[in-house]
Amino acid sequence: MAARTHKPVSMEARQVDELPRGEGWQYEPKWDGFRCIARRSGKRVVLLGRSGKSLARYFPEIVEALAKLKPSRFVLDGELVIPTGATLSFEALQMRLHPAESRIRRLSGETPAVLIAFDMLQDPAGSDLASHTLRERRTALERFFATVDDETRLRLSPASEKRASAVRWLARAGGGALDGVVAKRLDEPYRAGERAMLKIKSLRSADCVVGGFRYATNKLGGRKVVGSLLLGLHDTSGLLHHVGFTSAIKREEKPALTAKLEALVAKPGFTGNAPGGPSRWSTERSAEWCPLKPKLVVEVTYDHFSGDRFRHGTSILRWRPDKTPKQCTFGQLKQKTADPMKLLV
C-alpha cells in the first residue's frame, strides 16, 4: 500500500538577512514551537501540523479549550508553544510526540501548551478569509478574540506595522524566548504551501570545544572523511557537555581536517552529556561518533540556543587556536531575555 501523502496547509516563510523596510509590512514575533492550523466545526476540533498531519492527540488540552469557546466555527493559524518560566521549551513539545496516551495526558497537565494565534482563515460566520488581505484577516482575528473569554490556552500574538517594534523583538530572540521575527505583506492573501512570508533571525557566535566528530556517509567505498563536528561547552563544575553540531565544512578542507581529527581520537570526548544518548529520537547512526581529546576550539554562528543545546545546525566562523578549551563555557551564551508570554495580547 502506498504511503499516504499530506498536503501542506500553512503559509511558509523564507529566511532573509534583515528586516524589510518601507510601508505595507506587518511584523510579528516568531514563536519557538509547532506550527498549527486549528479548525473547529461544531463539536469537532482538528489540529493540523505544518505537513498536514494531525496533532490533536498530542495536545488534548488545546482541543478541550477550543471546544469550549463560544464561537463554534473558525479556522486559526498559529503556533503551539509550552511556556516554562520565562522561556518556551521546544524540548517539552517534543516530549508530547509519544505513543502512550497516558503519558500525553500526564504531560498535558504538568506542562500545558498554549496556542498563539496570528492569522484567521475562516471566521465564526463561516466566511473563507484565505483570499482576503492580511489586513482584513488581522481585523477579523482581533474581532474574534474580542468574543473569547479569558482562555489561557489560546492567546493572540502581537503584530505591528512599525519596524522599530520588530527590531526590539529581534533583540530578544535566540535565547529560549522568541525565535526571531516574521514579516508579511499587508495587502496579500493567505498562500498555503508557499514561502510568502519573510523570517529574520538574530545570528550570534560562540566558542566551542570539538569533543568528537562523525564521518560522512560514504556510499562509494572511498576514504572516509569527516561529516560533522560535535560541539561542547563546559559547565561551572568543568564538565564538557555536548551542545550541538556543525556540518558546514568545506569539501576541499575535509581530507586534511579528517587526518587532524583522527590523530586526536581518545575517550571520553565529553565528560558530561554525550551525543547518542538513549531517546525516542536516537538512531543507529546517532551513536556512531568518535570522541576526541579536548584540544580544538572553533567559533560557530547560531540562531537559537535553548534546553542547553543549539536548536539548529551551526556554521563555522573560524578556528580559535588562541582560545583554550576551558574558556568555552555556557556563560558566554547568557543574554538578556524577556518572558515571551508577557508580549501576548
Q: What is the DSSP string of 9-77?
A: -S-EEEEESS---SSSEEEEEEESSEEEEEEEETTEEEEE-TTS-B-GGG-HHHHHHHHTSS--EEEEE
Please count the other Cβ atoms lying within 10 Å of the Cβ belonging to residue 315: 14
**pLDDT (mean) for 234-240:** 95
Q: Is the pLDDT of residue 4 over 70?
A: no
Q: How high is the pLDDT of residue 284?
A: 44
Is 43 known to be catalytic? Answer: no
Please count the other Cβ atoms lying within 10 Å of the Cβ belonging to residue 284: 7
pLDDT digits (tens, 9 = 90+) for 300-322: 988 888 778 898 779 998 999 88
Distance CA 281, CA 267 (A): 24
Within the chain, all domains assigned CATH 2.40.50.140 are found at: 204-332
Most confidently modeled range among 34-43, 144-153, 170-179: 34-43
> Edge to edge, what strands does the sheet with 44-48 contain?
44-48, 34-41, 73-81, 114-122, 154-156
SS percent in the chain: helix, strand, coil, step 5: 20, 35, 45
Q: How high is the pLDDT of residue 339?
A: 67
Cα angle 111, 114, 120; round to 5? 165
pLDDT digits (tens, 9 = 90+) for 93-149: 989 998 799 999 999 999 999 999 999 999 999 999 999 999 999 999 999 999 987
How would residue 221 be classed by pLDDT, with cut points 50, 70 and 90?
A: low
> Which SS3 state, helix, strand or coil, does residue 183 take?
strand
Distance CA 63, CA 199 (A): 28
User: Rounded to two decimals, what is the model's pTM?
Assistant: 0.74
CATH number of the domain located at residue range(s) 12-202 in this protein = 3.30.470.30
Q: Is the pLDDT of residue 1 over 50?
A: no
Q: How high is the pLDDT of residue 282?
A: 40
Residue with cell 572511498: 222
Q: Is the pLDDT of residue 283 over 90?
A: no
Distance CA 158, CA 31 (A): 11
Q: Is the pLDDT of residue 27 over 80?
A: yes
Q: What is the CA radius of gyration of the chain?
A: 22
pLDDT digits (tens, 9 = 90+) for 45-94: 999 998 789 999 999 999 999 999 999 999 999 999 999 887 888 889 98
Considering the candidates 30, 260, 293, 342, report the single residue annotated as catalytic: 30
Distance CA 265, CA 253 (A): 19
The dihedral over CA atoms of 48, 66, 153, 173, expressed in degrees to the nearest 10, equals 30
Give percent of the chain with pLDDT exceeding 90.
67
Residue with cell 574558556: 327
pLDDT digits (tens, 9 = 90+) for 191-202: 998 989 999 987
Tell me the fold of 204-332: OB fold (Dihydrolipoamide Acetyltransferase, E2P) (2.40.50)
Within the chain, all domains assigned CATH 3.30.470.30 are found at: 12-202
Q: How high is the pLDDT of residue 286?
A: 46
Residue 58 and residue 97 in contact, taking contact as beta carbons nearer than 8 Å: yes
Residue at 186: amino acid letter: L
**Whole-number mean pLDDT of the chain?**
88
Q: How far is CA 137 from CA 38, 66, 77, 147, 186, in A?
A: 15, 19, 11, 16, 9
Q: How high is the pLDDT of residue 163?
A: 96
